[in-house]
Amino acid sequence: MTTHQYINSSSSFRLVYFLVIGSLVVWSAEGGHRKEQARDRIVKLPGQPRNVKFSQYSGYITVEAKAGRALFYWLTEAPAKSRPEKKPLVLWLNGGPGCSSIAYGASEEVGPFRVREDGKSLRLNPYAWNQEANLLFLDSPAGVGFSYSNTSSDIYTAGDKRTAEDAYTFLMKWLERFPNYKHRPFYIAGESYAGHYIPELSQVIVHRNEGVKNPVLNFKGFLVSPNSLNMPYISFITLIPSFTFL
């Protein structure tokens, strides 16, 4: 009887112990990503207009710790009133190689802000894609825009394969910081040389998702502009317009 009681109380003690420790672990993991999100939150950009009705975040994700390689992102969510939690996540990539998605895609093409002529203030872009989707701009690969590597040789050994692998690592780690985007319908869009990056990244995602039920990266499709296709003669003809407009 005594032994029985002892076992009983000890196992219930263990249960309570596991519940407490377990919830502490869950709590700290939750707190961890909240803290990281809060750290990345853009409260206000210099020269930002007043009527900004969406949330923005930016920061770095380390994609290779040993080399010290980190990619920079800027997330501009859909307007708070438009229920951004119901809208898809769209990764935007510019091409080049060497074109910053922050400098071009975000600031001159599909992003929510335009730099005013004074070079100091911003105005809203009425045709911004974040009206309909949560837009994630990524400077890729390392060495482009704000993305960097602490191993200088990385800049010279970059290639499409590593670009795709790094972008995939970025996405998976980014989803740990933004778990609210896990399982969200996910698309990739871009132009020019991203016509190489996007199908290669898509292939990596499709392979990794193979046989996975309800994958965290819920890949639905991609969009590339016509001059992105791998046709050297067309690329040659469109080279100058691409560099002018990208």
Ligand X SMILES: *[C@@H]1O[C@H](CO)[C@@H](O)[C@H](O)[C@H]1NC(C)=O
The helix (H) or strand (E) run that includes residue 74 is strand 69-76
Q: Which amino acid is at 187?
A: Y
Distance of CA 241 to the CA centre of its chain: 27
Tell the smallest beta-carbon distance from residue 149 to ligand X (Å): 8
CB of 58 to ligand X, least distance (A): 16
Window 6-35: contact mask with ligand X (x via CB under 6 A): ------------------------------
Angle at 50 between CA 115 and CA 90, to 5 degrees: 60
Cα atoms in the Cβ-side hemisphere of radius 13 Å centred on 166: 30
For ligand X, which is the closer residue by CB, 70 or 90?
70
Of 9 and 150, nearer to ligand X (C-beta) is 150
Tell me, what amino acid is at 157? T
As beta bridge partners, residue 188 has: 91, 222
Least Cβ distance, residue 57 to ligand X (angstroms): 18
Shortest distance, position 188 Cβ to ligand X, whole Å: 24
User: Cα separation of 37 and 113, whole Å?
Assistant: 21
Q: Which of residues 47-86 bind ligand X (CB under 6 A)?
A: 62, 68, 70
Smaller CB separation from ligand X, 22 or 68? 68
Going by the DSSP 8-state scheme, the letter that residue 103 receives in this structure is I
218-227: burial string, b at 16+ Cβ within 10 Å, e else: bbeebebbeb
Interface with ligand X includes 203 (CB under 6 A)?
Answer: no
Binders of ligand X: how many residues, by CB under 6 A?
A: 4
Residue 170 Cβ, how far from ligand X at the closest point, in Å?
12
CB nearer ligand X, residue 70 or residue 188 = 70
Residue nearest to ligand X (CB): 68
| Cβ closest to ligand X, residue 54 vs residue 74 | 74
CA 68 – CA 222 distance, rounded (Å): 29
Q: At what angle do helices 2-40 and 160-177 cross, to 10 degrees?
A: 120
DSSP letter, residue 216: S
CB nearer to ligand X: pick between 68 and 241 = 68
Does a cis peptide bond (omega within 30 degrees of 0) precede residue 97? yes
Candidates 8, 150, 152, 203: give the one binding ligand X (CB under 6 A). Answer: 150
Interface ranges with ligand X (CB under 6 A): 62, 68, 70, 150
